Amino acid sequence: MQLIVIVLCKESPSIELMLSIFTSYYGEQVVLIFLTFLNHIRDIKDPEHPYSLEELKVITEDAIEVDNERSYVRVTFTPTVEHCSMATVIGLCLRVKLMRSLPSRYKMDIRVAPGSHATEAAVNKQLNDKERVAAALENPNLLDMVDECLAPSYA
C-alpha cells in the first residue's frame, strides 16, 4: 500500500474538512504535510544558543494562527525560562522576520504564551507597540543582533 502525501498550506480552507475528505477517500495512509508560516520563522537562531527557535521549542506549529481572509497573523511563543531576558529580542526577531516576509496587508500580533514569562504584559505591550519597534530597529546594536539571528532563515 502506498502512502499518499498531500501537501497543504495552512492558508488553505478548513484543514479538518480536507483531512476528513482525503481520509474517507484513501483510508489511513494519508499524511498531511503542512507548509506553513512556521517555515518562515523556524530557522531563526536563538540569541544565546546556536540552536534554532524550533529546536528550542520556543515556537511550535500550534502556536501560529493565520487568517488569510482577514490578513491576520498571531504568533505565540514560549520563552525557555520564566525570567528569560531575551524574550523581547526573540519577539523582535519574529516581528522583523515576518515584516520582511509577509505582504504588507498582514497585521501581526506577537505574544508571549500566557503564564510563561514573569513580565508577560510588559513584553506583549512592548512587542506590539509599533513606535517602540521602530525605535528598537534604529538602534544599530540591536539591529545587528536581530540580523545575526535572522541570518540562517534566509539560507
Partner 1 sequence: MAEPSQLSQYIESFVDSSRSPTQQAASLEAIASLLKNKQLTIETLVREMEGYLTTVDNIIRARGIILLGEILVRLASKPLDDATIHSLIGFFTDRLADWRALRGALVGCLALMRRKSSGGMVSGSDAKAVAESYLQNLQVQSLGQYERKLSFELMECLLERYPNAVASLGDTLIYGICESVDGEKDPHCLMLTFHIIEVLSRLFPDPSDALAGFAHELFEILGCYFPIHFTHQKDEDMTIKRDDLARALMLAFSSTPLFEPYAIPLLLEKLSSSLPSAKLDSLRYLTDCTMKYGADRMAKHIEAIWSSLKEAIFTSLDSVLLFTPESLGGPDLPKNEIAAEALSLLQKLIVQNTKLFLDLIVGDEDISMIFNTISNYKNYHEIPLERKQRLNAVGRILFTTAKASQVSCSRVFECFFSRLMDILGLSARNSSGQPYFDESILISKRCNHGALYLSIEILSACRDMIASSETILAATSHTEETWKYLLQSFSPALTMGFCSAFSCSSEGTHDAATYIGVKGLLILATFPGGYSLISKTVFEKILVTFVSIINEEYSKRLSWKLALKALVEIGSFLERYHESEKEPSYMDIVVEKILSLAFVGDFGIPFPLRLEALSDIGTSGRSYMLKVVQGLEEAIYANLYEVYVHGSTNSAEIVTHLLKCYSDKVIPWIRCEKGFEEVLLQFAINIWNQIENSTHFNASQTNKKGVLDVMMKAMKLAVANCSEEKQNIIVQKSYNILSSSISFPLEELLLQERFQIAQEVDNSSSRDEWVLSHFAAVTIAIHPQTHIPNTRSIVSLFMTTLLKGNVVAAQALGSMVNKLDLKSTRGQTSSDCTLEEAMDIILNLSLWIFDKNSSSSIQSKMISVHDTGLNDLSNGVENCTSLQIHAILGLAWIGKGLLMRGHEKVNDITMIFLRCLQSSGRAGISHEEKSISENNYKLDLHSSVMKTAADAFQILMGDCEQCLNREFHAIIRPLYKQRFFSAIMPVLQSLVMKLEPLSRSFLFRASAHVIIDTPLIVVLSDTKKIIPLLLDGLSALSNDVVDKDVLYGLLLVLSGILMDKNGQEAVSDSAHTVVNCLVDLTRYPHMTLVRETAMQCLIAISGLSHARIYPMRTQVLQAVIKALDDPKRAVRCEAVRCRQAWASIASRSLHF
Residues in contact with partner 1 by CB under 8 A are 9, 35, 40, 96, 99-105, 134, 137-138, 143, 147, 150, 154
Which C-beta is closer to partner 1: that of 40 or that of 117?
40
Q: Helix, strand, or coil here: 113?
A: coil
In the complex, the smallest distance separating the C-beta of residue 34 from partner 1, rounded to whole angstroms, is: 12
**CA–CA distance, 61 with 129 (Å, rounded to integer):** 25
In the complex, the smallest distance separating the C-beta of residue 49 from partner 1, rounded to whole angstroms, is: 23
In the complex, the smallest distance separating the C-beta of residue 63 from partner 1, rounded to whole angstroms, is: 21
CB 128 within 8 A of CB 110: yes
Which C-beta is closer to partner 1: that of 55 or that of 147?
147
Q: Helix, strand, or coil here: 101?
A: helix
Which C-beta is closer to partner 1: that of 50 or that of 103?
103
Write phi, then psi, for 103 (nearest 5 degrees).
-60, 155
Which C-beta is closer to partner 1: that of 26 or that of 106?
106
How many angstroms separate the first and last alpha carbons of the chain?
37
Place of cell 520563552: 79
In the complex, the smallest distance separating the C-beta of residue 80 from partner 1, rounded to whole angstroms, is: 27
